[in-house]
């Protein structure tokens, strides 16, 4: 369920190659984002893959990893966090770099 919630969240907020949801009540600003929604959504467009790569849930929260789509970041991920009951969903600031990814790709 965490995977489905996170995949819907990144889709509705315009992080994939598909347009953001028409319903603006679904949009959430990231830490540090500001400005008009069209500009914010345009900057996000195509950032993340549609499908999550990994899901990990504890007793307090779930973390869902998405691979960055931009070519310079083939081994980088962003994480979506939420409570264990799938509320307070947000994209966490910063990213995660898979340091061993290059070894596996060679």
| pLDDT higher than threshold 70 for residue 106 | no
pLDDT at residue 92 in the model = 94
Q: 95 is in which domain, residue-wise?
A: 2-105
Domain count, the chain: 1
| pLDDT higher than threshold 60 for residue 95 | yes
Give the model's confidence band at 90: pLDDT under 50 very low, under 70 low, under 90 confident, else very high.
very high
Q: What is the DSSP annotation of 24-76?
A: GGG--PPTT--S-HHHHHHHHTT-B-SS-SEEEE-SSEEEEEEEB-SGGGTTE
pLDDT in tens, 27-85: 999 989 999 999 999 999 999 999 999 999 999 999 999 999 876 667 899 999 999 99
The predicted model scores a pTM of 0.88
């Amino acid at each position: 369920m965490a995977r489905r919630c996170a995949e819907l969240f990144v889709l509705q907020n315009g992080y994939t190659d598909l347009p953001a949801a028409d319903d603006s009540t679904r949009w959430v600003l990231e830490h540090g984002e500001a400005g008009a929604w069209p500009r914010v959504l345009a900057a996000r467009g195509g950032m993340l893959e549609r499908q999550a790569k990994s899901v990990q849930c504890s007793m307090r929260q779930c973390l869902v990893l998405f691979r960055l789509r931009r070519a310079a970041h083939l081994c980088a991920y962003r994480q979506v966090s939420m409570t264990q009951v799938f509320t307070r969903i947000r994209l966490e600031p910063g990213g995660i770099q898979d340091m061993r990814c290059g070894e596996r790709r060679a």
